């Protein structure tokens, strides 16, 4: 927690010190399975939150997140000592624990992990910081998992891989996702994990001299063009390598991005300039050029990716981004969505804050679902599960532009992803050149053409023809403008595609 001095004011540091002292006192005499003092766990969680750039209330809540459940401390005392926001966050984390303890298997969110956690997330959807604190809690539990019996290790590792890693990905917290995946995979399949680690190490050893030469060539051309940059290497994580091998029939030689060179520059125009220089230097593999700056991933990730063939016929991937994009790629929501007083108002908590970034619309979906449950209305858990945990598909425009969508998306999801005006004016759809219905499920590789008319307006049944939070939010906004109520409308699943 050494970084706290750089992150917070004197008053905030005093608040954190008081929380540390209180947590230490509350957990006196308590020990973890490993034998270490229990207070080490909440203080480590608080340290993670500082590293991730969270606000002081989140960090204090991290330090105190177990005192209500494990130390018989009243929430009212937390509120009196540390304020309403800290109490609100501690209460959210405590509720997760209580619901979890009431499940059939008290040691894990499994079985039916995704259903259970979706409900829990809806219950805490008023503030996404509860989820981030839970990610920090889970990460440290994984780091100390070896002290538990093998069966519990596997259960916790499996739910971490199926639930918490995708959550970190939805928040674009790349570092956290990789840490959770690597630790979980090492407990779930240690033999495979160690085999792939040796394979990556072997590839790194063979490629190091070649990469050094390529790095020097690229440095020379960037300096010649007076470009300020930072360059480092990125090694593919073991779990990502495992997943990619499954897609390539376990053929290691067909995977080109085990090692990538990452170039960080000052602004977007320079990113494209660097891309051009690299393509001037080496031969690009056209089908492996990805522009996530112009079309960010659903979680907000931005970068240029290109794979090239050098003059010596070596294949190497480059990732090009600004410092801001790199910070967001590593820390995600914590780096870009800072919690200030305005965001902590009732408007933020109920999802009415005006400037919620597009990649965080799924949070608004949670908040809307929480409001529906509170009002006694039904929530379509299948749709919520798709929003949070589904795999992605990649769909093309007739011009060849590629867009990433959640698996299960339909043509209207695609139309709104391309542009809001195209979505709201959509009158028909062509998939791979054929007229198709609005409830047709899209597949990776589909080429979709949207037919539009300025006279078209969204209708309430459009909500049954989309699954992506972004499209649903835009449709709801249009319906409100037209005077159509949507909150009380039934959340029916889409009709079965023809």
For the segment 443-493, what is each residue's pLDDT rounded down to a tens digit? Answer: 877 889 999 999 999 999 998 898 877 788 889 889 988 887 654 333 333
User: Residue 287: its pLDDT value, please?
Assistant: 86
- pLDDT for residue 382: 58
Question: What are 262's two structure tokens?
Answer: 């990452």
Judged by average pLDDT, the poorest of 52-66, 72-86, 221-235, 336-350 is 336-350
The answer to which of 48-57, 97-106, 213-222, 260-269 has the lowest mean pLDDT is 97-106
Query: Is 60 exceeded by the pLDDT of residue 105?
Result: no
- Give pairs for 86-89: CB < 8 Å, separation 24+: 86/19, 86/57, 86/60, 86/61, 88/127, 89/57, 89/58, 89/61, 89/65, 89/127, 89/129, 89/130, 89/133
> pLDDT exceeding 90 applies to what percent of the chain?
41
pLDDT of residue 482: 85
List alpha helices for 282-380, DSSP H: 323-331, 333-336, 346-349, 361-374
390-481: which CATH number, 3.90.79.10, 3.40.30.10, 3.40.50.2300, 3.10.20.30?
Answer: 3.10.20.30
Task: Give which of 433, 385, 436 is closest to 410, Cα–Cα.
Answer: 436
More confident call, 236 vs 96: 236
For residue 328, the model assigns a pLDDT of 82
Q: What are the domain boundaries of the chain?
A: 4-173, 191-330, 390-481
Catalytic annotation present for 69: yes
Per-residue DSSP letter, 250: T
Architecture of the CATH domain 4-173: Orthogonal Bundle (1.10)
**Would you state the pLDDT for residue 106?**
30
Q: pLDDT > 70: what percent of the chain?
A: 78
- Weakest mean pLDDT among 63-72, 240-249, 271-280: 240-249
**For this structure, is 70 an active site residue?**
yes
Average pLDDT score, the chain? 81
SS3 344: helix
Does 239 or 342 have the greater pLDDT score?
239
Mean pLDDT of 59-82: 93
Q: What is the distance between the alpha carbons of residues 406 and 417, in angstroms, rounded to a whole number?
A: 11
In this structure, whether the domain defined by 191-330 belongs to CATH 3.30.460.10 is answered with: yes
Cα angle 299, 362, 388 (rounded to 5 degrees) comes to 80
Q: Is 22 helix (H, G, I), strand (E, B) or coil?
A: helix
Cα–Cα distance measured from residue 341 to residue 335, given in angstroms and rounded to the nearest whole number: 17
The tens digit of pLDDT for each residue in 23-43 reads: 999 999 999 988 899 999 999
Per-residue pLDDT at 161: 83
- Does the structure show a pLDDT above 80 at 140? yes
Answer whether residue 102 shows pLDDT above 50.
no
How high is the pLDDT of residue 470? 78
Q: How many CB atoms lie within 10 A of CB 73?
A: 18
Q: Please tell me if the domain spanning 4-173 has the same topology as the one spanning 390-481.
A: no
Residue of 51, 70, 327, 407 with catalytic role: 70
> Looking at the predicted structure, is the pLDDT value of residue 337 above 70?
no
Q: b vs e for 124-146, b when ≥16 Cβ sit within 10 Å of the residue's Cβ?
A: bbbbbbbbbbbbbbbbbbbeebe
Residue 355: per-residue pLDDT:
44
pLDDT of residue 251: 77
Query: pLDDT tier at 349 (50, 70, 90 boundaries)?
Result: very low
CB 261 within 8 A of CB 318: yes
Please give the Cα distance from 70 to 95 (Å, whole number): 13
Tell me: the pLDDT tens digits for 260-300?
A: 899 999 999 999 999 999 999 999 999 889 999 988 886 77
pLDDT of 305 strictly over 60: yes
The kind and range of the H/E element at 203 are helix 190-224
Catalytic residue (choose from 2, 66, 69, 77): 69
Give the list of residues 6+ apart from residue 246 with CB closer than 8 angstroms, or none.
Answer: none
């Amino acid at each position: 927690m050494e970084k706290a001095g750089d992150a917070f004011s004197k008053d905030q540091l005093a608040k954190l010190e008081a929380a540390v002292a209180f947590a230490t006192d509350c957990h006196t005499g308590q020990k973890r399975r490993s034998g270490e003092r229990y207070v080490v766990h909440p203080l480590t969680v608080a340290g993670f939150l500082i590293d991730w750039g969270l606000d002081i209330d989140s960090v204090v809540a991290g330090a105190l997140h177990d005192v209500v459940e494990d130390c018989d401390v009243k929430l009212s005392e937390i509120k009196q000592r540390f304020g309403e926001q800290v109490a609100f966050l501690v209460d959210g984390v405590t509720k997760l624990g209580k619901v979890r303890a009431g499940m059939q298997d008290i040691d894990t969110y499994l079985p039916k992990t995704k259903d259970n956690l979706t409900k829990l997330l809806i219950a805490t959807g008023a503030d996404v910081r509860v989820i981030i604190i839970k990610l920090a809690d889970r990460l440290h539990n994984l780091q100390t998992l070896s002290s538990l019996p093998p069966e519990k290790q596997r259960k916790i590792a499996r739910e971490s891989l199926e639930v918490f890693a995708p959550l970190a990905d939805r928040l674009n917290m790349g570092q956290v996702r990789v840490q959770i995946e690597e630790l979980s995979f090492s407990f779930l399949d240690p033999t495979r994990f160690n085999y792939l680690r040796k394979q990556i190490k072997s590839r790194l050893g063979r490629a190091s001299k070649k990469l050094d030469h390529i790095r020097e060539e690229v440095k020379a051309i960037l300096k010649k063009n007076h470009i300020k940059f930072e360059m480092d290497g990125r090694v593919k994580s073991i779990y990502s390598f495992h997943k990619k091998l499954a897609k390539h029939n376990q053929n290691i030689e067909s995977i080109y991005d085990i090692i990538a060179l990452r170039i960080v520059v000052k602004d977007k125009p320079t990113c494209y300039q660097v891309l051009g220089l690299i393509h001037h230097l080496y031969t690009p593999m056209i089908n492996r050029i990805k522009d996530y700056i112009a079309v960010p991933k659903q979680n907000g990730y931005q970068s240029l990716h290109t794979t090239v063939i050098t003059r010596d016929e070596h294949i190497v991937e480059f990732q090009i981004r600004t410092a801001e994009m790199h910070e967001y790629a590593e820390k995600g929501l914590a780096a870009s969505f800072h919690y200030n007083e305005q965001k902590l108002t009732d408007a933020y908590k109920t999802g009415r804050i005006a400037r919620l970034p597009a990649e965080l619309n799924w949070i608004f979906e949670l908040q809307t679902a929480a409001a529906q449950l509170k009002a006694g209305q039904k929530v379509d858990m299948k749709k919520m599960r798709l929003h949070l945990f589904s795999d992605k598909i990649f769909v093309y425009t007739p011009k060849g532009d590629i867009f990433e969508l959640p698996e299960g998306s339909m043509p209207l999801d695609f139309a709104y992803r391309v542009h809001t005006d195209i979505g709201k004016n959509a009158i028909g759809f062509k998939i791979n050149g054929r007229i198709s219905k609005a409830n047709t499920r899209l597949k990776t590789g589909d080429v979709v053409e949207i037919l539009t008319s300025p006279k078209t307006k969204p209708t309430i049944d459009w909500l049954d023809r989309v699954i992506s939070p972004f499209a649903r939010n835009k449709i709801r906004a249009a319906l409100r403008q037209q005077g159509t109520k949507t909150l009380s409308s039934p959340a029916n699943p889409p009709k079965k595609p023809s």
